Structure 1
Amino acid sequence: MVEPTQVQILRDLVYHQPELKVNPYHTLDLYLPPATSTPPPVLVFVHGGFWNTGDKAEHHQLTASLCHQAKVAVASVNYRQTAPNQTPMLRFPCHLEDVAHAVGFVWAYGEQFGYNSQRMYLSGHSVGASMVALLGLCPKRYLAPVFQDHYPDADWSHLYQCLQGVIGIDGIYDFPLLISTFPHYRSRMDLIFGNHPERWPDASPRLGEVLPDVLTDKHLGRLEWCIVHSLEDELVDLPQSQDFIQYLHNLQYRVVDACHLSGSHDGVLGTSALVETMTDFLHHSSSAKAP
């Protein structure tokens, strides 16, 4: 990927500050393409790392290249992480709640930063894909509380209506299946959930209960999905994405199957093929939904 030269970057914007001191995990980097007469859509990108590693700065090349090539604003998000011997121990869904706060921030500040927050996309890698998928499928459970806390006079469903699509990259959509396939991940799951495997489905988009208001919402026909997976991924196997695609089809979502890329689990993020796949999806989706 070519390093873009015409991308404005606003680093370490604080999207949530529950305490007086700023937490660096409650920040995001905002990438803005050159201004035009029409404000661009915005994509929120969430890194992976199994909820205990990773940082938005590691994905600068991907987010800057996507901003440059697709001509979209990109918000690259940090979120709190779980660490051994942490006091108090941070458990799921705290990480997802942070991402929901970031999405609310991006939605609220579109006019100030010059992008169109009425046309918002979510994307994530690995557990980042898990989290954005949960936001897309279960907005009332995860987005509504955040929205109502910060914007009590507004209708939270308006934020949901602004979501145009979700891009999952080498995601984990079924954690019980993951542990069945890769038992050595069990210790990392116990760090995040304690010794409570009965809670794993709560983080599994393919196993979660999709609330009736989403299934019957007229927006269902508009929200589009792009599921990306590398055939060379050594950490998350292909059935995670294949089974999730079938699950989305069963819910009557429109899905782009992009399970043909190359590169390791993390290496795929540095490929031009990923940027091209995401750009094609964003442009097709945007043109199809343009008023």
Structure 2
Amino acid sequence: MSFTLVVLEDAFAASVAATLDMLRAARTLGARSLRFQACSVNGGFVRLSSGVGVETSRLPARSRADATTWVIPGLGMNDAAAVRERLARPDALTLSKLIARHVSRGGRVAAACTSVFLLQQAGVLPRRRVTTTWWLAGLLAEMETECVVDANAMVCADGPILTAGAAFAQTDLMLHLLREHCGARLVDMLARTLLLDGRQAQARFIAPELLANGDTLIARISAEVEAHFPNPPSVATLASRLGMTERTLSRHVRRVTGQSPLALVHSLKSRRAQALLQATHLSVDDVAAAVGYQDAGTLRRLLKKLGVAPPRALRSAASPPPPPGRKRA
């Protein structure tokens, strides 16, 4: 079993380091046949984010058999303009061509966060289910209309293409790969040793104001919904107030956020509910009513669907003790 860690200049240093440390730890814990190397387009020392760097070997420019899984950590950009600028640089253009060749010859590629955009540039995402950092999911869906972008997923595996969510989802991606190659028992030991907790969804980390990514319309929708709790406007009402059809509204929301308008509303409800659970002593039924749900069971199902801890756990972790004589809800 072999991995090629492929890094570009200014890549997210923590993701590169975490990948190397997880691979070394897996080998120490018993995966003796595990082989890996760090490579780059030109080889040599590659400067990463935060002023650190890594020595690399050069990826072969000429075709040759390569049975390794290529692992590409996030590129360290936070917005659409930076993504487009980074993809246009010579090393990214060269790597995209190498990725396309590797996949065409039966190779696997695993990318996290913004490095998923390299796979889009390489042309290997059509008809695949993929994910990326949640606040850029809409951009990926806009750039690659023939793939399904699941902004909620932490890791997506579709044929030879594996993708993961924002920055530290790199660890979830590596747990997935190592579970395939080394088995569940060793990976469980690795996760316990390094205090890693494999996560299934990005949804509980999504902040709607960041999901808007500077888009005025999404900001207006969020403000409308939050201003009218516990009875936020329907999607039809939102569209009418914004002077557009439901279809146009839906298309815009999905393009920017990677979500449907209804999913965006549920994200806003979830965030308000979490805030109330953590900062007040309202009962779970009262919190549910405050965000427009009929009962606590509906709220619990929403939180579970989004990968959020149940109300009792949220309250126990963040709220101060209740007043004397009053029990936690």
TM over 0.5: no
Relative to the length of structure 2, the TM-score reads 0.30
Q: TM-score, normalised by structure 1?
A: 0.33
Greater fraction of residues in strand: 1
User: Which structure has more RCO (C-alpha within 8 Å, separation ≥ 6)?
Assistant: 1
Instruction: Identify, as 1 or 2, the structure richer in helix.
Output: 2
Bigger Rg over Cα:
2
